[in-house]
């Protein structure tokens, strides 16, 4: 404005108006500045009640340009929903500047902090497990990584830390957790990439109710810190449904219990448990991973490492009445999404072998696939069970967002390309040679 330049100087918390008597208009929007000056109270008629710092301003002595912005491919002062998704992901570092996404990342960080604090206070131990490892079946294809040292051999990226967390129970860790990345090569859905983050945990000497109670307690306590309301049953708990009843009542095993005026209120979170799932299902011939996993025509519904419920142990051990075997699996749903799932595990060599026999594996194939687990159980292993919660989904619900991408810093595009960096990419032949046999 004439000789006076007004600069709105912002950081993550607030904006302050800076008043600058300048010669030219050399400062532009999105520049990064260091400004030195004096804070002054504004005259009352100039108070800006929309800003936290609206009653003061900075009388500028000097301005140093730390970084000049000459190119802004996308706007960052809108909510961003109007910008094409691939463009947002191409310039994700700018996209994250917008207030909404910046807030989502902070919310997610606070959530991780709350959950971690709760578990540590309950004597859980945070342990990291490897990402370069052997396949763990979770019903998807594996991502494989060629080994340079062992030419012609491959690691698999874990579909989950399932086997390592069970091995930690054999190590008497007793209460484990980890925020783990999982990698699953499955068909991409609108808002899903090939990797996601789980809060993964496992406990020794527990029954279903112990794991479910731990998770329920953790969620109730941790979510007090957020602007959301939990809908609980008459006793103040998450309601529990048998899988069969859930299908009858809602037509699906993930459902939305919000009713009436809560229906579209994203601040209301209605958690529920689903239990008593069939252990096995007939292989869907169109699903490549299921065809691979279920050699007998039967495959697991959730997790091959689960234990059947007590009444079904005999049938399980004898490979009888396969469709009628129920697992100790418990799934957690919220507002129509599956938020997590887990089970009590088979902790004897015989029971784990029986599961793979039902799926049509020979002794040799069982040995090759999970021989290390069987061997570990042969040294003695406490009964144990656990669960994993999807951190992307949980953060999305708490943030009141409709897409997982809004709570992941650098999500994948719908066509499986990474944000900002254009991967996967081709490698020169000479780089590939070092892996060849
Ligand atoms: N490994 C399971 C999953 O990723 C979770 C569990 O059973 O603990 O779904």
Quick: pLDDT tens for 317-342.
999 999 999 999 999 999 999 999 99
Ligand 1 close to Cβ of residue 342 (< 6 A): yes
DSSP secondary structure, 28-74, as one string: -TT-EEEEEEEEEEPPGGG--TTSTTTTEEEEEEEEEEEE-----SS
- The per-residue pLDDT for range 155-209, each reduced to its tens digit, is 999 999 999 999 999 999 999 999 999 999 988 776 778 999 999 999 999 999 9
Handedness of CA 154, 157, 163, 168 (dihedral sign): positive
Q: Do 249 and 241 form a contact (C-beta atoms < 8 A)?
A: yes
pLDDT exceeds 70 at position 121: yes
Q: Give yes or no for residue 5 CB within 6 A of ligand 1.
A: no
Copy the structure tokens of residue 271.
């958690």
Q: Ligand 1 center to residue 279 CA distance, Å?
A: 14
Cα 301 from Cα 320, distance rounded (Å): 17
For residue 375, name the pLDDT band (cuts at 50, 70, 90). very high
Distance 341 CA to ligand 1 centre (A): 6
Atom 4 in ligand 1: which residue has the minimum CA distance? 160
pLDDT at res. 264: 86
Residue given tokens 């710092």 in the structure block: 53
For 259, phi then psi, to 5°, come to -130, 165
With a 6 Å cutoff on the Cβ, whether 160 touches ligand 1 is: yes
Residue of higher predicted confidence among 365 and 4: 365
Burial class (CB in 10 A: 0-12, 13-18, 19+), 360: middle
Residue 225 neighbours by CB distance under 10 Å: 13
Instruction: Name the residue of 124, 129, 138 to mutate for ligand 1: max ligand atoms within 8 A of Cβ.
Output: 138
Q: Is the CB of 388 under 6 A from ligand 1?
A: yes
Q: What is the pLDDT of residue 25?
A: 57
The least confident of 20-29, 223-232, 247-256, 347-356 is 20-29
* Distance from residue 331's CA to the centre of ligand 1 (Å): 10
Say whether pLDDT at 380 is over 90. Answer: yes
Report pLDDT digits (tens) over 68-88: 999 999 999 999 999 999 999
Distance CA 406, CA 422 (A): 20
Mark 255-285 as b/e (b = at least 16 C-beta within 10 Å).
bbbbeeebeeebebbbbbbbbbbbbbbebee
Ligand 1 pocket, residue 161 CB under 6 Å? no
Q: CA 182, 183, 184: angle at the middle one, nearest 5?
A: 120
| CB proximity list for 190: less than 8 A, separation 6 or greater | 403, 414
Q: Which atom in ligand 1 lies closest to the alpha carbon of residue 387?
A: 8
The total of other beta-carbon atoms located within 10 Å of residue 373's CB is: 23
How many angstroms separate the Cα of 421 from the Cα of each of 104, 187, 206? Answer: 22, 21, 44
Mean pLDDT for 13-31 is: 84
Tell me how far apart the alpha carbons of residues 330 and 344 are, in angstroms, rounded to a whole number. Answer: 9
Q: What element of type H or E holds 316?
A: helix 313-318
Closest CA to 166 of 345, 379, 390: 345
Q: How confident is the model at residue 28 (pLDDT cuts 50, 70, 90)?
A: confident
More confident residue, 151 or 115: 115
Three-state DSSP at 382 gives: coil
Residue with tokens 């990342």, as numbered in its chain? 105
User: Sorting pLDDT into bands at 50, 70 and 90, what band is 140?
Assistant: confident
The pLDDT score that the predictor gives to residue 24 is 60
- How far, in Å, CA of 15 to CA of 42, rounded? 15
Which has more pLDDT, 139 or 421? 421
| 305 exposure class (CB count in 10 Å sphere: 0-12, 13-18, 19+) | buried
Helix (H, G, I), strand (E, B) or coil at 318: helix
Q: Ligand 1 within 6 A of 341 CB?
A: yes
Q: Give the span between the Cα atoms of 3 and 7, in whole angstroms.
A: 13
Greater pLDDT, 216 or 13: 216
In the structure, what pLDDT confidence band is assigned to residue 220 with cuts at 50, 70 and 90?
very high
**Residue 23's pLDDT is what?**
65
């Amino acid at each position: 404005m004439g000789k006076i330049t007004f600069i709105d100087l912002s950081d993550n918390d607030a904006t302050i108006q800076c008043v600058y008597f300048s010669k030219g208009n050399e400062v532009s929007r999105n520049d990064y500045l260091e400004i030195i000056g004096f804070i002054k109270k504004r005259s009352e008629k100039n108070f800006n009640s929309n800003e936290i710092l609206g009653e003061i301003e900075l009388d500028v002595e000097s301005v140093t340009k730390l970084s000049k912005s000459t190119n802004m491919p996308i706007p960052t002062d809108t909510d961003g929903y109007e910008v094409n998704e691939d463009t947002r992901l191409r310039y994700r570092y700018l996209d994250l500047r917008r207030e909404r996404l910046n807030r989502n990342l902070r919310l997610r960080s606070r959530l991780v902090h709350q959950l971690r604090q709760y578990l540590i206070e309950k004597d859980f131990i945070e342990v990291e497990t490897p990402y370069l490892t052997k396949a763990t079946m979770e019903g998807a294809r594996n991502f494989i990584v060629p080994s340079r040292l062992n030419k012609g051999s491959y690691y698999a990226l874990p579909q989950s830390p399932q086997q390592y967390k069970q091995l930690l129970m054999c190590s008497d860790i007793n209460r484990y957790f980890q925020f783990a990345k999982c990698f699953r090569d499955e068909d991409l859905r609108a808002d899903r990439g090939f990797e996601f983050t789980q809060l993964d945990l496992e406990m020794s000497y527990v029954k279903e109710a112990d794991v479910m109670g731990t998770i329920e307690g953790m969620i109730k306590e941790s979510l007090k810190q957020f602007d959301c309301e939990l809908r609980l049953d008459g006793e103040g708990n998450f309601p529990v449904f048998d899988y069969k009843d859930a299908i009858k009542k809602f037509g699906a095993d993930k459902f939305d219990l919000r009713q009436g005026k809560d229906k579209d209120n994203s601040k209301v979170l209605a958690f529920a448990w689903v239990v008593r799932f069939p252990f096995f299902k007939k292989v869907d011939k169109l699903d490549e991973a299921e065809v691979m996993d279920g050699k007998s025509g039967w495959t697991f519904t959730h997790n091959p490492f689960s234990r059947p419920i007590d009444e079904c142990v005999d049938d399980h051990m004898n490979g009888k009445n396969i469709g009628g075997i129920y697992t100790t699996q418990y799934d957690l749903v919220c507002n129509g999404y599956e938020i997590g799932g887990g089970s009590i595990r088979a902790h004897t060599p015989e029971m784990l072998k029986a599961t793979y026999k039902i799926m049509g594996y020979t002794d040799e194939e069982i040995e090759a696939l999970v021989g290390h687990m069987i061997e570990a159980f042969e040294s003695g292993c406490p009964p144990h069970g656990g669960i994993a919660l999807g951190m992307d989904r949980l953060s999305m619900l708490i943030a009141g967002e409709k897409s997982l991408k809004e709570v992941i810093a650098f999500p994948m595009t719908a066509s499986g390309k990474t944000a900002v960096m254009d991967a996967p990419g081709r490698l020169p032949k000479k780089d590939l040679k070092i892996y060849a046999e």
